[in-house]
Amino acid sequence: MNLFDTICATATPVGEGGIGIVRISGNDAEHIANIIFRPRKKPSSAFESHRLYYGTIFNPADNTSLDNALMTIMKKPKSFTGEDVVEFHCHGGQLVLQRVLETVLRQGVRLAEPGEFTKRAFLNGKVDLAQAEAVIDLIRAKTDISMRLANLQMQGQLSQKITQIKDAVVLLLVPIEAGLDFSDEEDVTILSDCEIEERLKQISGEIKKLLSTYEEGKILKQGINCIILGRPNVGKSSLLNLLLKEERAIVTAIPGTTRDIIEEVVNIKGIPLRLMDTAGLRETQDEVESIGIKFTMKRLESSEMVLFVADISEDEFEQDIKILEKITDKKTIIVGNKIDKASKEAVNAFHNAFKGMTKVAISVLLDKGVEELRQTIYNEARGKRYEAIDNDQEIIISNTRHKISLEQANKAMVKAEETLNKGLSREFIAVELKEAVERLGEITGAVTTEDILDRIFSQFCVGK
Ligand SMILES: Nc1nc2c(ncn2[C@@H]2O[C@H](COP(=O)(O)OP(=O)(O)OP(=O)(O)O)[C@@H](O)[C@H]2O)c(=O)[nH]1
Ligand SMILES: [Mg+2]
């Protein structure tokens, strides 16, 4: 099975830590352990698999000891990579780890490329491609929800679904091809056009259902860019500080306080919200301020969500509405701030002025209405279908590569249906179905190229 050379890398992050791990994978791993590691109690025969041994790592060239460490061997195929793996659990000093790694390298082992351990796990059949990709999602997860999604994918939830869809395509393809080749033989069932159409539609529906989860999946994984906009002095910076629970931005009673964009990530009920505080929007002669406003408009373009803050106590929202008209295609929430000093009439005027829009009245000063605002941000960010997801009932895709493959698979299914409706030879339907099988196979890695693998695994860190 194993056609690979032996690789090694430090598996823990650079810097000081309680422990640091140097990992080796490949046929020479055990041999290297025997050369550079001296166990305190020598085992009577070879090192046992999946056991920790305490001892000394030393440099065989001059016999100097490098560290006291724990060593474990995980013999193939019961290891992460499916090859013999040796791990040295050293003290977590940068220099210690560097010296241990150098000593391993000097035994004729190669330094691993980024993600190479996980790549080998894939190539040796320990995980499929979607599962391997979930490893990096798990490492990078910033919230509990994205961590849960990564875990489900790592356990093979998405792969199972893809395989199920692919099997359905194959199940349709087989009788169609048999009909082409052996249509004269008696025991070949010939599917009717109706049957084929129904099954094509059903499969295509399944693919589209998966595709429809992508936007949401992307937001759960990567978060959402959210810009705070509004006229000067309405309380934008105060709101940022409150959501962040930190005095991050300068707040003063002077309009035009904020000039530079201040960017921070806040966790809103599990969604990473990249929040940007900006310069208040108004006509101004001040050069610095007008540059700030230009920055704001530029950043608006790359934001998916807008928190538009208005001063609710002002009772007059004409200018706000003028600015709002320029904002299109964004998830927008109107935040009426300073409710503490607003009259009843002003609050009514606010609700009338922004009729039909998503809005929340709050007071940053008194911390009023802020929980409602958090909930509204959450609902807007995730869209309407989040309940099903919270119940684990739905499979979510969040990876662009998966999305593209699914789109291509679906395109083939649609083409197959068109071919059928045009009454063309079923040969052409078979071609499209084969295309769909290929595209679906790309997701789990049943079909893959070196190029795809390089692109995926180069995103990993060295040592993973
Ligand atoms: N009464 C009251 N005052 C508030 C509230 N929120 C903010 N303020 C005050 O409003 C003033 C402006 O607040 P900022 O947060 O600096 O407003 P901003 O929108 O960032 O202003 P610029 O950066 O100048 O555009 C400060 O004096 C705040 O203390 C609120 O809920 N109620
Ligand atoms: Mg400000």
The pLDDT of residue 353:
94
CA-atom Rg of the chain in angstroms: 30
Rounded average pLDDT over 198-223: 92
Give residue 233 CA to ligand 2 midpoint distance, Å: 7
- Residues 278 and 295 sit within 8 Å (Cβ to Cβ): yes
- Do the domain assignments include residue 283? yes
Q: How confident is the model at residue 99 (pLDDT cuts 50, 70, 90)?
A: very high
Q: What is the CATH number of the domain that holds 41?
A: 3.30.1360.120
Q: What is the CATH number of the domain that holds 342?
A: 3.40.50.300
For residue range 113-139, list pLDDT tens digits in order: 999 999 999 999 999 999 999 999 998
Mutate-to-test residue for ligand 1 from 238, 339, 367, highest number of ligand atoms within 8 A of CB: 238
Mutate-to-test residue for ligand 1 from 244, 251, 258, 262, highest number of ligand atoms within 8 A of CB: 251
The reply to whether 304 and 203 lie within a common domain is no
Indicate the helix (H) or strand (E) that contains 67.
strand 64-74
Q: Indicate the DSSP class of residue 323.
A: H
313 Cβ closer than 6 Å to some ligand 1 atom: no
Q: Determine the distance from the C-alpha atom of residue 451 to the mean position of all C-alpha atoms in its chain, rounded to a whole number.
A: 21
369 Cβ closer than 6 Å to some ligand 1 atom: no
Rounded average pLDDT over 176-186: 75
Structure tokens at 123: 């190539």
Ligand closest in space to the Cα of 238 = 1
Among 110, 128, 146, give the residue marking a domain's end: 128
For residue range 214-257, list pLDDT tens digits in order: 988 888 888 899 999 999 999 999 999 999 998 999 999 999 89
- Do the domain assignments include residue 189? yes
Give residue 239 CA to ligand 2 midpoint distance, Å: 9
- Do the domain assignments include residue 425? yes
Q: How confident is the model at residue 306 (pLDDT cuts 50, 70, 90)?
A: very high
For residue range 426-447, list pLDDT tens digits in order: 999 999 999 999 999 999 998 8
CA dihedral 37, 42, 46, 51 (to 10 degrees): -80
For residue range 135-154, list pLDDT tens digits in order: 999 988 888 888 988 999 99
Neighbours of 404 (CB within 10 A): 13
Is the alpha carbon torsion for 320, 325, 326, 329 positive or negative?
positive
390 Cβ partners below 8 Å, 6+ apart? Answer: none
- Do the domain assignments include residue 463? no
110-143 core/surface letters (b: 16 or more CB in 10 A; e: else): eebebbbbbbbbbbbebbbbbbbbbbbbbeebbb
- Residues 357 and 332 sit within 8 Å (Cβ to Cβ): yes
The pLDDT of residue 123:
93
The reply to whether 173 and 313 lie within a common domain is no
264 forms beta bridges with 275
Which residue did the predictor score with more confidence, 335 or 175?
335
Among 28, 26, 23, smallest CA distance to 72 is for 23
Half-sphere exposure of 254 (CA within 13 A, CB side): 6
Place of tokens 């085992």: 43
The reply to whether 13 and 147 lie within a common domain is no
341 Cβ closer than 6 Å to some ligand 1 atom: yes
Q: Which atom of ligand 1 is nearest to the CA of 234?
A: 19
Mutate-to-test residue for ligand 1 from 231, 233, 337, highest number of ligand atoms within 8 A of CB: 233
* Statement: residue 183 has pLDDT above 80: no
Residues spanned by the domain of 116: 7-128
* Statement: residue 388 has pLDDT above 70: no
For the chain, the average pLDDT equals: 91
* Statement: residue 454 has pLDDT above 90: no
Q: What percent of the chain is predicted at pLDDT more than 70?
A: 96
Give residue 268 CA to ligand 2 midpoint distance, Å: 21
CA dihedral 382, 384, 387, 393 (to 10 degrees): -90
Q: How confident is the model at residue 305 (pLDDT cuts 50, 70, 90)?
A: very high
* Statement: residue 386 has pLDDT above 60: no
Q: How confident is the model at residue 184 (pLDDT cuts 50, 70, 90)?
A: low
For residue range 20-51, list pLDDT tens digits in order: 999 999 999 999 999 999 999 988 899 999 99
The reply to whether 356 and 231 lie within a common domain is yes
Among 88, 109, 128, give the residue marking a domain's end: 128
- Do the domain assignments include residue 111? yes
Ligand closest in space to the Cα of 235 = 1
Among 99, 128, 157, give the residue marking a domain's end: 128
User: Which residue CA neighbors atom 2 of ligand 1 most closely?
Assistant: 338
The reply to whether 209 and 347 lie within a common domain is no
Q: How many domains does the chain have?
A: 3
The reply to whether 187 and 240 lie within a common domain is no
Q: What is the CATH number of the domain that holds 168?
A: 1.20.120.430
The pLDDT of residue 2:
44
